[in-house]
Structure 1
Amino acid sequence: MNNQMLDLLQTRRTYRDFDENYQLSEEELQVILSAARQAPTWMNGQFYSIFVVKDSSIREKLVAMNPGNPHMLKSSVFLIFVADLNRSKKVADKYEVDFPIIEGIDPLLTAVTDTALAMNSATLAAESLGLGSVIVGSIRKDIDAISQLLNLPDYMFPVAGMSIGKPTVEMKVKPRLPEEAIVFYDTFKDYDYQVIEKYDETMDKFAEARETKIWSQKFADYFSQKPNTAVDQFLKDKKIQK
């Protein structure tokens, strides 16, 4: 099946090395932002905001907090996608109704889902323009400091950042888990652990330079550590969770 959008979806990849001299035009930026804003959203609620970080001094501070991601400064633009329930609070105040979002996690899940969908549309728009991007979820490690940098009010939660620019290093399309580990028809059907072992072998052959462990070991180690509790405290401080 020859389809440009399908080709784009199936060959999407992450880029981390960008031409520092390439300037994203205002027209290109608006195409990306417009695509993000047109993403699917629950009940047309649009529970997110997008911060376009152009100020190099702010970007330098972001890299200082997260030195493993120098592209946050070197890319053409850095976006931060924020789950936004502050707008909903304004509406609740206008109509003088309660706003009990801390009573459950569903409002947060809704806002984070909307944010992720907008972010995905932005990556596809960037690639359609011949640009590259990388998602930076590790900004949540310094979530409070980044919130202060952005001057976020209550009810707003940084989800992830995104560097966008002109790639200088060609990347290969990374293999994904086998379909039987991801796709289920009608009901869950457990699969043999060999499916994961097979994927470990695939990724080992793929030999991405930045990986120092096999796929399964990486995530076994990651989830053996306590979660980032700074996020929990931030959600409490911003009146999003109890």
Structure 2
Amino acid sequence: MNETIKLLTSHRSYRQFDETYTLSSEELDQILAAARQAPSWMNGQFYSIIVLTDPKIRQEFVRLNPGNPHIEKSSVFLLFVADLYRTAEVAKQKQTAYNIDGLDPLITATTDAALALENALVATESLGLGAVPVGSVRNYLPEIKSLLTLPDYVLPIAGLSIGKPIVEMKVKPRLPKETVVHYNQYTPLDYQHIEHYDDTMRKFGEARETKDWTQKFADYFAKEPNRGVDDFTKTQKIAQKKTDE
């Protein structure tokens, strides 16, 4: 196994960081450079990265989202946003229409942002540091828009807390290969694999997991989805719904 694959397959999420550790500007630049070199559809680079170092802004993030105190206690917090603003400005300069109705442009920009985040995460771990993605930023989108003066056509996707871990974490078991990897066609699910995964995770015994994997997501999808994202994309002029003429 080469060093890159070893790094990828030993990924762990860290949430406890040394508050006295300061990420160097060189390390941050390396992480950002790796993120910016991520693959992008048509080289559109439909994302932006907002580097949050201001303690007051990060404190406000934690006030909004108290379940993730590491946003404040990590060395730096990066916010990855789907960004269709730049190309809106291009269309304005070129005096052309800017048609981003429907889901495809948003999916494209979200994918670009996610790929950049993953590159940043891998770069972070290659430096011997730790990180954890934060998808719950999508729970308070209007507040983030105001706090960070986001323009139209921009949607926060996820954050990334980066720092020096102070608690060692075990590599978390993933779903069995048979449930995720398909060859040539989609294979019907053998539910026994899911039941075995419940058992595996019980034995893994992560303290923050209070429910079986199956129960956690049965409960999650039984609730109403986060409609705030739907509303926010409309106010941001992303994925607009066409009206009848």
TM-score tier by shorter-chain length is over 0.9
| 1:216 corresponding residue in structure 2 | 214
2:65 counterpart of 1:63: no
Q: TM-score, normalised by structure 2?
A: 0.97
1:96-149 CA-partner distances (Å, limit 9, x unpaired): 1111102x1100000000000000000000000000000000010001101111
Amino acid in structure 1 at the alignment position of 2:57: I
Quick one: percent identity of the two aligned structures? 60
Provide the C-alpha distance between the structure 2 equivalents of 1:213 and 1:165, rounded to a whole number of angstroms.
Answer: 28
Give structure 2 stretches of 5+ with no counterpart.
241-245
2:130 counterpart of 1:132: yes
Provide the C-alpha distance between the structure 1 equivalents of 2:145 and 2:199, rounded to a whole number of angstroms.
Answer: 40
Amino acid in structure 1 at the alignment position of 2:229: V
Aligned length, in residue pairs: 240
Amino acid in structure 1 at the alignment position of 2:69: P
Q: How does 1:1-242 map to 2 (within 5 A)?
A: 1=1, 3-102=2-101, 104-242=102-240
Structure 2 counterpart SS, 1:176: coil
Q: TM-score, normalised by structure 1?
A: 0.98
Provide the C-alpha distance between the structure 1 equivalents of 2:194 and 2:133, rounded to a whole number of angstroms.
Answer: 25
Provide the C-alpha distance between the structure 2 equivalents of 1:201 and 1:143, rounded to a whole number of angstroms.
Answer: 36
Give structure 1 stretches of 5+ with no counterpart.
none
1:21-75 CA-partner distances (Å, limit 9, x unpaired): 0000000000000000000100110000000000000000000000010000000
Shift of 1:241: 2.0
Aligned CA RMSD, in angstroms, stands at 0.6
Structure 2 counterpart SS, 1:40: coil
Amino acid in structure 1 at the alignment position of 2:173: P
Amino acid in structure 1 at the alignment position of 2:118: N
